[in-house]
Structure 1
Amino acid sequence: MIAIVDYGLGNIKNIERAIHHLGFEAVLTDDSEVIRSSSHIVLPGVGHFKDAMQALKQSGLDKVLIELQNSKPFIGICLGMQLMFDHSAEGDSNGLGIIPGKVVPIKTTYPVPHLGWNNLESEHPLLNQDVYFIHSYYVQTEAPIIATADYGLPITAIVQAQNKIGIQFHPEKSGDYGLEILNQALKGGFIDD
């Protein structure tokens, strides 16, 4: 069973529907024991980085996620991806620190937030179509970047570090193609072992 972490912020119902549509069993939960017993962890999120980290800390879920980071597939989506990193300029806040890197403002001549459909650029054969983004900050990391999107600068769209996958866009809002990407992430990701 997949644990979708419910910490009071995020697009959790849409993620839950998408995962069920793909045929997986999933539960929305803030129960640390349910998360510990799950097969996968999915950390969604929409909103402000500092608020999200405060919610995770107040519930104690931050410690649970850090504890379990290497024991099962861990997928962060949108803000959930950003929370996996060391630090964000949004609210000058530390993240979970489970993938090295930082979250910085998008500085481009294009309008911010990066809102709407944009094409993925990747060597992976699945990652070559438009997906739906909405964000004002993006990740800079030395971890393997699997896909980017051009928005006047290369936006990190998917990153994978061993069992940990970050997806900046919303696969659940990206039609059948987004569901294919989410399915691939749940089945082990984009790097061949």
Structure 2
Amino acid sequence: MIAIIDYGMGNLHSVSKAVERLGYEAFVTADAQEIMEADGAILPGVGAFGDAMQNLQNTGLDEVTRYYAASGKPLLGICLGMQLLFSESEEYGTHKGLNLLPGKVIRFQGDFKVPHMGWNKLGFHQKSPLFVGLDQGHVYFVHSYHAKPERASDLLATTDYNGQVTAIVGSGNVYGMQFHPEKSGDLGMSLLCNFLALTGAREAVR
């Protein structure tokens, strides 16, 4: 079973349906015990970093997510959910994140269109179980802020948008995708499928 963590700011339905389309059972939950018992967990997110962290703290799901990551079971952050994995963000002031990955989330700076919206090609930087059997291709982004990991080893893939932009991160059992895999065609769904395979969850009988 795959837990979709519900803290009130995620694209819960689309992520849950994508997991189910790939043949796995998914459930949307804010219950700590249910999350901790899941084979894998996904932290989605749409909106502002500070509001999201406030919601996580108000519900206690910030600590639940940290405990889940410490359990060694696979955790995936998507879009804002990926940004929340980092130490802090400068979006509308400075806000502390979950600090599962060291680094900062910053706004795009320069004379170009923000938000970054549309299809951009991924560039894989190192081997990862997320990339098994896959070629570099295009995925769909919508964001005005981007993560700057402190550790080069955490940077798994980037895209080019007026310079290198973090697209996929990972450290141990913790992963993040800045784009929306469920809206990114075959490549996005294949990346999500490779993450789900890491959970060891049995595919649902169809």
Instruction: Report the alpha carbon displacement of residue 185 of structure 1 after superposing the two structures with TM.
Output: 1.9
Q: Give the aligned residue type for 1:110.
A: F
TM-score in terms of structure 2 length: 0.88
Which structure would you say has the larger RCO, counting Cα contacts within 8 Å and 6 or more residues apart? 2
Find out whether 1:35 has 2:35 as its counterpart: yes
Q: Which runs of 5+ in 1 are unaligned?
A: none
Render the CA deviation track for 1:64-102: whole Å, top value 9, x for unaligned: 111221211000000000001100001310000111111
Give the equivalent residue in structure 2 for 1:55.
55
Runs of 4+ in structure 1 off by over 6 angstroms are none
What SS does structure 1 have at the residue aligned with 2:8?
coil
Q: Distance in 2 between matches of 1:118 and 1:26?
A: 28
Give the equivalent residue in structure 1 for 2:188.
178
Q: Give the aligned residue type for 2:160.
A: D
Q: Distance in 1 between matches of 2:87 and 2:154?
A: 16
What SS does structure 1 have at the residue aligned with 2:77?
strand
What SS does structure 2 have at the residue aligned with 1:67?
helix
Q: Give the aligned residue type for 1:150.
A: D
Q: Distance in 1 between matches of 2:174 and 2:68?
A: 11
Q: Distance in 2 between matches of 1:166 and 1:147?
A: 10
Q: What's the RMSD between the two structures over aligned residues?
A: 1.4
Give the equivalent residue in structure 2 for 1:26.
26
Instruction: Report the alpha carbon displacement of residue 145 of structure 1 after superposing the two structures with TM.
Output: 1.0
Give the equivalent residue in structure 1 for 2:119.
117
Q: Give the aligned residue type for 2:33.
A: E
Give the equivalent residue in structure 1 for 2:79.
78
Q: Distance in 1 between matches of 2:74 and 2:168?
A: 15
Give the equivalent residue in structure 1 for 2:106.
104
Q: Percent identity?
A: 47
What SS does structure 1 have at the residue aligned with 2:99?
coil
Instruction: Report the alpha carbon displacement of residue 186 of structure 1 after superposing the two structures with TM.
Output: 2.0
Q: Distance in 2 between matches of 1:108 and 1:173?
A: 27
TM-score in terms of structure 1 length: 0.94
Q: Which runs of 5+ in 2 are unaligned?
A: 126-130, 200-206
What SS does structure 2 have at the residue aligned with 1:69?
helix
Q: Distance in 2 between matches of 1:94 and 1:23?
A: 36
What SS does structure 1 have at the residue aligned with 2:102?
coil
Render the CA deviation track for 1:89-142: whole Å, top value 9, x for unaligned: 013100001111110111233201000111111155625111000001111111
* Counterpart pick for 2:139 among 131, 134, 139: 131
Q: Distance in 1 between matches of 2:68 and 2:198?
A: 16
